[in-house]
Amino acid sequence: MSTLWHGRFDDGPAPELMAMSVSLPFDRRLATDDVAGSKAHVRGLARAGLLDADETDAVVAALDQVAEELASGAFVFEPSDEDIHTAVERRVTELAGPAGAKLHTGRSRNDQVATDLRRWTRRAMVEVGSAVADLQTVLAARARDVGDAYLPGYTHLQRAQPVLLAHHLLAHAWALGRDVERLLAAGERADVCPLGAGALAGSSLPLDPVATAADLGFSAVFDNSLDAVSDRDFVAEALFALSLLGVHLSRLGEELVLFCSEEFGFVRLHDSWATGSSMLPQKKNPDVAELARGKAGRLIGNLTGLLVTLKGLPLAYNRDLQEDKEPLFDSVDQVLAVLPALSGLLATATFDTDRMADAASGETTAATDLAEHLVERGVPFRDAHAVVGALVRRSLEEGDGSLADLVADSEHFAADAGDLFVRGAAVERRRTHGGAGPVAVAEQLQRFEAHLDAERARLEAMVATLSEG
């Protein structure tokens, strides 16, 4: 078997070594980035006078053919292709002959793989960000179409105060907006070109990493060759952004599971977005929401695994770094599977707004408003809290419907306190900035839609820039 390093070795690698160390099965996904990086490197070699015009043309043509073969599936991999970089270089050399053998001049797989993975990460973060924006769009559309429907807001999963359903949906949408910012920040962090760092120390040849970085469409170039080949911070940051996104999707999933239960009965899933049971004929299960919740564990595992891989590594490149790719690819794949499914589930789900309103209209949901009614009459809040708390305690002994009577009989309250028990009154009264009532939520929804428009414009601009590079 012919390896890239055969000159120094009497014997080829053991099959077990190859079986353990081969990364081709997963780093094939870097193929287009590897070819793009190689072409930029070839142009750099030409500018440095290390390839003449004919050689340059021959190698670029070979790289184009390799790209076509890889895209069409015609590319034939050899057992000696331990990774995508080896495969591409091997095929270029077959096609371009001696000129192809000059491709790897002044380059190492160490700077090459870092370059490829940075390009891949930058693009993936934008792709995931766009899928998140799609989910936010669904949440905002549902927030608009549910109007002034309301449900109990919970703390400690105990009914606390009523909130508009739109407010609840938008709470998730804003959190997802921060995820998009984190994803794009991770993409920007990846946007530094390591090409020209060589194996670890740069080159004695007259290469110009600054020009190559610009040629390859990177925003910046590495400052330190050791750092350039050993830095995987950008992967860890991407995995963190994906993990926190996963945590948010998990919380949304958990709520959907709860709300679909008969106990809550707030949400009914469209048949296309639910699953049945192989044994229990009556079942309609929220598997999408459960998997959205379940994937978070895996995403966090991918982040944790990479951090542990990195923690003991001396400078510069170590083969351990090959372990960076599978967790990254997996986390991106998982969220790209979850996001459209959750979007579809939410776009088609039915909200039982009567049941929500019933759950949010118990007398005790007026408790805070009763205390605030007393505050408006000059009672210190702590005293008001105690007065209302005592009435609630008595009403629980006397039974449902008695709180309104107790308030009516109490000397503490004005006659209009009874209005606070009117269905929907408690949510209507929450008017402060960012609050849960119709007036405040209408303003919030406008702000959110403007935020989403700006986010979309930013994502589209990034997609356009990346498709040029």
- Binding positions for ligand ARG, rule: CB under 6 A: 23, 27, 83, 109-110, 113, 317, 319, 321-322
C-beta closer to ligand ARG: residue 32 or 322: 322
Q: Tally helices (H) and strands (E) across the chain.
A: 18, 6
C-beta closer to ligand ARG: residue 83 or 231: 83
CA distance 394 to 406: 8
Q: Least distance (Å) from ligand ARG to the CB of residue 83?
A: 4
Q: Least distance (Å) from ligand ARG to the CB of residue 27?
A: 6
Alpha helices in 22-83 (DSSP H): 24-27, 31-47, 53-72
CA distance 57 to 70: 20
Closest of 326, 334, 327, 332 to residue 28, by C-alpha: 326
Q: Could you give the residue numbers annotated as active site? A: 156, 277
C-beta closer to ligand ARG: residue 104 or 189: 104
For 158, the token pair is: 């105990």
CB contact at 8 A, 417 and 426: no
Q: Least distance (Å) from ligand ARG to the CB of residue 107?
A: 11
- Spatial CB neighbours of 162, under 8 Å, sequence gap ≥ 6: 150, 151, 152, 153, 360, 361, 365, 424, 426, 427, 436
C-beta closer to ligand ARG: residue 107 or 429: 107
Q: Which amino acid is at 365?
A: T
For 64, the token pair is: 């184009």
C-beta closer to ligand ARG: residue 322 or 348: 322
C-beta closer to ligand ARG: residue 82 or 215: 82
Q: Least distance (Å) from ligand ARG to the CB of residue 337?
A: 24
CA distance 425 to 318: 64
CA distance 2 to 439: 72
Half-sphere exposure of 333 (CA within 13 A, CB side): 10
Q: Least distance (Å) from ligand ARG to the CB of residue 197?
A: 12
Q: Least distance (Å) from ligand ARG to the CB of residue 30?
A: 9
Residues, the chain: 469
List of E strands, 288-372: 350-351
